Structure 1
Amino acid sequence: MTHANSSGPEAGVVATEQDGHHKSGLPVLTLGAIGVVYGDIGTSPIYAFRQATHVRPGAASSEVEILGLLSLIVWALALTVAFKYVFFVTRADNNGEGGTLSLMALARKTFEKPPVWITALGVFGAALFYGDALLTPAISVLSAVEGMDLVAPGMGRWVVPITLVIIIGIFAVQRFGTAKVAIVFGPITAVWFLTLGVSGFVHIVAYPGVLQALNPLLGLQFLFTHIGIAFVVMGAIFLAVTGAEALYVDLGHFGRKPIVLAWFGLVFPCLLLNYFGQGAFVLSVGIENVESPFFQMQPEWALLPFVILATMATIIASQAVITGTYSLTQQAIALNMLPRMVVQHTSATQSGQIYMPQINSMLMIGVLVLVATFGSSAALSNAYGIAVSGVMIVTLALLVVVMWRNWKWHPAVVIGFGIMFAIIDGSFFAANAAKLLQGGWVPAAVALIVALMMWSWMAGRRRLSDKTRRDEVPLEFLVNNLAKKKPTTVPGTAIFLTSDVEGAPTALLHSLKHYKVLHEKNVILTVRTSTSPRVPDDEKVTIDAYNELFYRVVVTFGFMESPNLPKALVLARKLGWKFDIMSTSFFLSRRSLKLGQKSGFFRFWQDRLFIRLARNASDATEYFHIPTGRVVEIGTQVVL
């Protein structure tokens, strides 16, 4: 067989995307990172310090206790976000991309045969992200709208209805794309952080003694003198660092440098100033006189604008996690961890701008139910945290693998790093797990359901592949027989899609059985997904010629790419294949799955779930962007 790689006219596209960080300009990217990356963590001051001071009556009744709680928040931000994520996690990029699944793919690359637990960590981390995606819009928007009760007492009964309307609006505009809205994300969030910093600085000047909280010993002292409520307090402190995962998830959109500059240049200083300001305000007026320090410390004339700005900031935070969920789902589909779903591109210039109607609808319903059920951000804070802290533990475990096997760090350094953050992240997770019955079960249940779906889908695909492979005829055997005894040929090209590179496609066998003819050119096409986020055009297509009748074509997409087959096949023209979509027919096998008679209880429900997911998967024609008028589907029945 002859073999070649494609090197088409579009080979510059990937290079342009990778160099885009430099072409867009560092200031623009930094401003964009402020809006998208830090929108979630930027809304934490609304409720984090409030929850820390109200976890138990008397937990913050003295100056030493207020300073202890503040010290815990400050050092949680410094160690978890600044040190762990900014300095280390953002370095673990997979060709520029970040996120749990990207890190999983990076860790798997270091093994010839990746162990199952690496994949299991990726599944678990991705599933937990969905739980976080439900809670972030709910608690963020609800906490901001609650400020209206301070502006106009008596408005409390309207908080939930207004929140529901805002959330419906957020999800309703997703179909139009976020490109236009994203232009104002950065400036609004930058104004938000500056406002946080200024409002906190004013109170620090009035009560500079609050700066004693920079001493980490005050935080440790609080924990040791309040052993009985230490876990509850840590659960509240963790609210200050929720959103740290966005640093890594959005790495591919902005690059590491803008994210680091945005954090140290604006976000981190302003967050510290605001938390210190809230502490100074509480120490000035007394904790017994404060219900919501974030809003109450604002001057009366600024309260209404502050509530409006806070609401806008929470909408941006919600937008960021929603689009992040689309990206994560697209990666999971490409890695064969979820069934195909409809992916709509909302921008002609930015490949990352996508909309997934099924995910959007499920998220919206879930968020609305949470807001209506819990009714307040204080109640929701009990549910918030378990998913994010779980994702942080998964990230740490995969990062340790990358440090050890990819970066080749000394084992002592890797172990020391792993132990230190295992203690920190484990404490946060245990603290949030303690709130399981108070609402923490919600994201845990969502994560468990998603994980079961993903694991059942992967297991079902393996069984289906094994079953199909046993029933298929070896491709080379069929090609050699047809070359000896050539059937009637008809003009045109037939492309047979198959996931098995060794066996003859079911659609080809049935076509020969029923039509007893072959096309002049027959292409056995396999689509693969790389462990890299994007595949350069000169590596995307390979062609093997069996003879003048049959060709083997393998198209490889990165897990961040949209699998557009007609565009990819155009690259094959450089290899001598004159691809004409109007004289080409795509033959697809449509399998009808049936349950087998012999299976245990676990296998029975897992197969049922797999069949249900397969039936609801989007059509392969739409997913691969194949023109519907060029597709021939041949149905077969498979018993699992």
Structure 2
Amino acid sequence: MSREIKQSLPAVTLAAIGVVYGDIGTSPLYTLRECLAGHYGFGVERGAVFGFLSLIFWLLILIVSFKYLTFVMKADNSGEGGILTLMSLAGRNTSARLTWVLVIMGLIGGSFFYGEVVITPAISVLSAIEGLQIAAPSLDTYIVPLSVLVLTLLFAIQKKGTGGIGKLFAPVMVLWFFTLAVLGIRGIWINPEVLYALNPKWAVDFFIQYKAVSFFALGAVVLAITGVEALYADMGHFGKLPIRLAWFSAVLPSLVLNYFGQGALLLKHPAAIKNPFFLLAPDWALIPLLILATLATVIASQAVISGVFSLTRQAVRLGYLPPMRIVHTSEMESGQIYIPFINWLLYTAVVLVILSFEHSSNLAAAYGIAVTGTMVITSILSCTVAVKNWHWNRFLVIILLVVLLGMDVPMFSANVLKIFSGGWLPLLLGFLMFIVMTTWKSERFRLLRRLHEHGNSLEAMIASLEKSPPVRVSGTAVFMSRAMNVIPFALLHNLKHNKVLHERVVLLTLRTEDAPFVHNVRRVTIEQLSPTFWRVVANYGFKETPDMEEIFHRCGLEGLSCRMMETSFFMSHESLILGKRPWYLLIRGKLFIALSRNALRAPDQYLIPPNRVIELGTQVEI
């Protein structure tokens, strides 16, 4: 067994390089250029170059290597990671009030991800294609159209699934990181003095020399760690060891070499600040490097798009977003999904961002608020998990939290200044997503409470129906029940209006557990409530999609044989009416009604043939 693991580890590590590190791996395209381009009152000066290189190096060590790879990745839910997973873990052993606070923080972190993800593909692809300015200056006007074309093709092929193109990810990204390292070594060879910047003294001297300006410059340094949340979010796909191995063996050395190579070039030729990444290459390599950079940024964008799909499915299953169409693009890998609505909504937003900002430098001025905000939230939630779940010493965890926030809060504060230069965009998008998620969760809860306030006892009703049954018809009726021990609304309306009951009645409840996956042994539990009434509870993880055929198959194995084409599914359809509310709750109610009207219907969610479904409607005031 250990031999199989050893053989598979290199392959999984290569795959992790291809998917996990696409975003942070393309940061050298623009990071050092933005740091030294003159936005902060200083240009390519020796102290500034050494200071920025030292800051970038120690951010990669402290934030990525120490915080995320060593500490945060310890917090996993059956191997899965991500901000919503961390939120769920943090709230397990806390009081109701603290759990509510942690949930709000987790939702803010998830909303920030939606806001920042619009900028990531735009800045990555734009910065790669801007290499045309060096290779062929006359083609400068084609940069924006070419960027839109590349991203259009990327979003268009999402419905085909990433399995096929995914096989190209690892080789291309391995070649990319090898190229980063070679270019960096070439630059360092010109001016080895640049390696002195590994000493943290230069970072300290940078703050002393440039004082307040150095604090504002942290807003540019944070570009070096874009995509750091992907390390944690993609943990479930690759595992901790391959992600850590990929970082320390390939990604980190390549990034450090390239940044320091660019720094050496700038010390020798300050005019290279126009585009130090592409000018680090010899003239004959510009076109191949431009093509490779474009491929690498497409892969980085793909990883972000897949992350949005994964986060959206998780939010839907946990009840924070309305049900929507989710297409599985692979029969072998459950993580490969495609969500049409999210795909084209994201595409529209990305294209509008490119057309509005036009240059990667303009986007860099808007980037960072959301990602650093998420970093602050991650520190708080992970330290909560350390105290409540792992039972670490509280005093030591407080010290750890102070250290982590001592890195995160200054970077967040420095990026807050970007609000007026475009940073309002990710904040606005994140705020809108937060409103949508909290509205759906809270209003859905209010609706279910209204539906179940009739107070009738399920056991008493079943006993009454068995004692004095209405007209019985042959076949099986399945009534979808949102909660156990509650009479389904559709059952009440069927008895009230049709005055008949099938010879076998199944009350089916679908539950989403606080785990990514549920073992097949625990998938379905069956309880016979009376001679003709059965209760079936189907359990799914938040990364799984319920399938009625599978549920029926599991029921058959447990002795309750059901055939899809001989079963009628009764479902309630609520027409929502707004009651009297304050104006702010009125707006939220209208939003909830709009979301409900456009939500995916239960038959489509659970793959039930339309001709087997009977919907019974009712008006409900909310």
State whether TM-score is above 0.5: yes
User: What residue number does 2:143 align with?
Assistant: 159
User: Displacement, 1:575?
Assistant: 2.1
Q: 2:191 aligns with which of 186, 189, 207?
A: 207
- The answer to whether the Cα contact below 8 Å between 1:541 and 1:569 also exists between their aligned partners in 2 is no
User: What residue number does 1:67 align with?
Assistant: 50
- The answer to whether the Cα contact below 8 Å between 2:524 and 2:554 also exists between their aligned partners in 1 is yes
Equivalent AA in structure 2 for residue 67 of structure 1: F
Partners in 2 of 1:349 and 1:136 — Cα distance?
Answer: 29
- The answer to whether the Cα contact below 8 Å between 2:132 and 2:140 also exists between their aligned partners in 1 is yes
5+ long unaligned stretches in structure 1:
1-18
1:147 maps onto 2:131 in alignment: yes
Partners in 2 of 1:378 and 1:508 — Cα distance?
Answer: 60
Over aligned residues, Cα RMSD in angstroms? 1.6
Q: 1:265 aligns with which of 240, 245, 249?
A: 249
Q: Give secondary structure in 1 for the equivalent of 2:331.
A: coil
| Deviations 1:247-272, CA, capped at 9 Å, x for gaps | 01110111111101100010000000
1:433 maps onto 2:416 in alignment: yes
| Map 1:62-461 → 2, pairs under 5 A | 62-111=45-94, 113=96, 115-285=99-269, 287-461=270-444
| Higher deviation after alignment, 416-425 or 314-323 | 416-425
Partners in 2 of 1:573 and 1:396 — Cα distance?
Answer: 47
Equivalent AA in structure 1 for residue 108 of structure 2: F
Query: Would you say how many aligned residue pairs link Structure 1 and Structure 2?
Result: 620
Q: Give secondary structure in 1 for the equivalent of 2:26.
A: helix
| Higher deviation after alignment, 225-234 or 132-141 | 225-234
Equivalent AA in structure 2 for residue 386 of structure 1: I
- The answer to whether the Cα contact below 8 Å between 1:55 and 1:236 also exists between their aligned partners in 2 is no
| Map 1:481-496 → 2, pairs under 5 A | 481-496=464-479
Partners in 2 of 1:89 and 1:282 — Cα distance?
Answer: 36
- The answer to whether the Cα contact below 8 Å between 1:55 and 1:232 also exists between their aligned partners in 2 is no
| Map 1:602-617 → 2, pairs under 5 A | 602-617=584-599
Partners in 1 of 2:30 and 2:267 — Cα distance?
Answer: 18
5+ long unaligned stretches in structure 2:
none
- The answer to whether the Cα contact below 8 Å between 1:472 and 1:504 also exists between their aligned partners in 2 is no
Partners in 1 of 2:562 and 2:378 — Cα distance?
Answer: 44
User: Displacement, 1:304?
Assistant: 0.8
Q: 2:449 aligns with which of 458, 466, 488?
A: 466
Partners in 1 of 2:38 and 2:555 — Cα distance?
Answer: 63
Partners in 1 of 2:592 and 2:5 — Cα distance?
Answer: 44
User: Displacement, 1:373?
Assistant: 0.1
Partners in 2 of 1:430 and 1:615 — Cα distance?
Answer: 40
| Deviations 1:111-142, CA, capped at 9 Å, x for gaps | 37462111111211111111121111000000
- The answer to whether the Cα contact below 8 Å between 1:339 and 1:457 also exists between their aligned partners in 2 is yes
| Higher deviation after alignment, 59-68 or 528-537 | 59-68
1:525 maps onto 2:508 in alignment: yes
Partners in 2 of 1:474 and 1:457 — Cα distance?
Answer: 28
User: What residue number does 1:8 align with?
Assistant: none
User: Displacement, 1:458?
Assistant: 0.8
- The 1:259–1:562 alpha-carbon spacing in structure 2 relative to 1, beyond 3 Å, is same
User: What residue number does 1:536 align with?
Assistant: 519
User: Displacement, 1:224?
Assistant: 2.5
| Higher deviation after alignment, 139-148 or 548-557 | 548-557
Equivalent AA in structure 1 for residue 140 of structure 2: G
1:478 maps onto 2:478 in alignment: no
User: What residue number does 1:562 align with?
Assistant: 545
User: Displacement, 1:102?
Assistant: 1.2
1:627 maps onto 2:597 in alignment: no
- The answer to whether the Cα contact below 8 Å between 1:339 and 1:614 also exists between their aligned partners in 2 is yes
| Higher deviation after alignment, 630-639 or 334-343 | 630-639
Equivalent AA in structure 1 for residue 220 of structure 2: A
- The answer to whether the Cα contact below 8 Å between 1:541 and 1:555 also exists between their aligned partners in 2 is yes
- The 1:198–1:181 alpha-carbon spacing in structure 2 relative to 1, beyond 3 Å, is same
Equivalent AA in structure 1 for residue 571 of structure 2: L
User: Displacement, 1:193?
Assistant: 0.3
Q: Give secondary structure in 2 for the equivalent of 1:500.
A: coil
Partners in 1 of 2:205 and 2:614 — Cα distance?
Answer: 71
Q: Give secondary structure in 1 for the equivalent of 2:39.
A: coil
| Deviations 1:280-323, CA, capped at 9 Å, x for gaps | 111111x2453111111111011111111000000000000001
Equivalent AA in structure 2 for residue 471 of structure 1: H
Partners in 1 of 2:164 and 2:7 — Cα distance?
Answer: 16
What is the TM-score of this pair, normalised by structure 1?
0.95
User: Displacement, 1:57?
Assistant: 6.0
- The answer to whether the Cα contact below 8 Å between 1:344 and 1:356 also exists between their aligned partners in 2 is yes
- The answer to whether the Cα contact below 8 Å between 2:176 and 2:292 also exists between their aligned partners in 1 is yes
Partners in 2 of 1:117 and 1:611 — Cα distance?
Answer: 26
| Deviations 1:515-547, CA, capped at 9 Å, x for gaps | 211111111111111010001111121122111
User: Displacement, 1:22?
Assistant: 4.5
Q: Which has the higher contact order (CA 8 A, sep 6+)?
A: 1
User: What residue number does 2:17 align with?
Assistant: 34
